[in-house]
Amino acid sequence: MMTSVKGFKDIYGEELKLFKIAKNVLEEIAENFAYEEIITPVVEYSELFERSVGIDTDIVEKEMYTFMDKSGRNITLRPEITASIARSYIEHHFETKPLPLKFYYFGPCFRYEKPQKGRYRGFYQYGVEAIGDDSPLLDAEVIYIGYSIAKKLELKNVSVKINSIGCRKCRTTYKEKLKEILEPHYDDLCEDCKRRFYTNPLRILDCKKEVPDLKRSLPKIIDYLCEDCRKHFDNVLDYLQKMSIPYEIDDTLVRGLDYYTRTVFEVVSSDLGAQNALLGGGRYDYLIEELGGRPTPAVGFALGMERLVEIMKSQGFSVRNKQLIYVAYQQSAFERAIFIAEALRNYGFKVLLDVKNGNFKNQTERSSKRNAEFTVFIGEEEVNTNTVTVKNMKNKAQTKVELANLDGFFKERKNV
Ligand code: HAM
């Protein structure tokens, strides 16, 4: 049997309905915060991710779908979208527009990860990015957007985790301190962390394999922040308080992408299992500069659609289906049936025209199997009297309705 590629999945039925409801809410929230949509390509030159996400990260090291195109260009299916936004910002000279620029996006991403609940190789991200200002108010604003999503969709059991990983200056001091303390325990580290010890010791903090005792004994990065970074972090927390957003400082939160500075955060859900981050993000003040642009501070987050839908499903989010009207007809009334189906669709109803035709009894059975709310019968008599017979499939009541009253009749009975 042919199947979809491992780690990729079809989205259909109820799940797709939740996906679409969620997408509408996400887009509406971003628009209401005056963020503008941007669509960037699914493929980029591999170098973009190597230079942004970082050569020593799991994503670039092990998870990228990278290949040569037919002209020998090294390209990659995007594992995330922030790097593309930064590239686009530089390429189109967005710095000439009023700053901060605010973007939101939605689209597929690809990571060759070990598939498990909440983790796919093909998944959809929604995200927001505010570019061109280092105000802590922007950090708080993007977290506010993430929090508004959870509130609007009435998600339970979600919380905001936040940390600051400082700037180039203070992070270097902290990394050195970390290495100094970890060195005597080097042999106890897992294989990944032995490598991280040299490439990015910060990542050892959020490694799930490390011994909790050792992790507890490590210094906290917020105790090593320079004065500017400390002030910035305090201001972010202050804004969050003023916005009534509950948060928890998590000093092991460092995030798995290299471009972050200062604020990092996640919104996590206890309904998600091991992969509990619904969304994650932070500030990335050096990224645009490192990709060849002017120094440009920025902050944003991305959310995994599959995880959002999973939470909605597990919390019993109910989908309101549009009522379905089934049109049954005698063959001699076919043209009238087409006309009526079209009229009903134009009134805004969802209409299914019977395909097999045959007697009304069989057509009614088919209507019932489709869970139609109403069946409209059109026979010769209905054609001659300019009426239709409508059967309410729930209470079985039948009513003759004149064609001129069709719209009103169904609108009065919307979602009976
Ligand atoms: P990230 O934490 O790598 O950050 O991904 C953001 C979100 O995408 C995660 O919290 C999760 O919901 C979802 N996600 C990631 N990988 C998978 C996967 N394999 N399967 C399903 N869902 C997944 C970023 O991508 C950054 N670009 C976020 C950002 C934006 N930072 C600043 N601006």
Domain boundaries, the chain: 13-167+226-314, 324-412
Q: How many angstroms separate the alpha carbon of residue 305 from the centre of ligand 1? A: 10
Is the minimum distance from the CB of 111 to ligand 1 under 6 angstroms? yes
Judge whether 13-167+226-314 and 324-412 match in fold: no
DSSP conformation class of 119 = B
Is the minimum distance from the CB of 301 to ligand 1 under 6 angstroms? yes
DSSP conformation class of 273 = T
Is the per-residue pLDDT at 175 higher than 60? yes
Topology (CATH) of 13-167+226-314: BirA Bifunctional Protein; domain 2 (3.30.930)
pLDDT of amino acid 210: 66
Q: How many angstroms separate the alpha carbon of residue 66 from the centre of ligand 1? A: 19
Q: For 76-96, b where at least 16 C-beta lie within 10 A, e where not — what string?
A: bbbbbbbbbbbbbbbeeebee
Q: Closest Cα to residue 379, out of 339, 329, 342, 312?
A: 329
pLDDT (tens digit per residue) in 113-165: 999 999 999 999 999 999 999 999 999 999 999 999 999 999 999 999 999 99
User: Where does 324-412 sit in CATH, by number?
Assistant: 3.40.50.800
Is the minimum distance from the CB of 364 to ligand 1 under 6 angstroms? no
Best residue among 102, 114, 307 to mutate for probing ligand 1's pocket (most ligand atoms within 8 Å of CB) is 307
In this predicted structure, which of 31-45, 201-215, 255-269, 382-396 has the lowest mean pLDDT?
Answer: 201-215
Residue 334: count of CB within 10 angstroms of its CB: 13
Is the per-residue pLDDT at 76 higher than 70? yes
Best residue among 59, 77, 80 to mutate for probing ligand 1's pocket (most ligand atoms within 8 Å of CB) is 80
Is the minimum distance from the CB of 210 to ligand 1 under 6 angstroms? no
Provide the whole-model pTM: 0.93
Is the per-residue pLDDT at 92 higher than 50? yes
Pairing of strands 277-283, 261-269: antiparallel
Best residue among 5, 123, 203 to mutate for probing ligand 1's pocket (most ligand atoms within 8 Å of CB) is 123
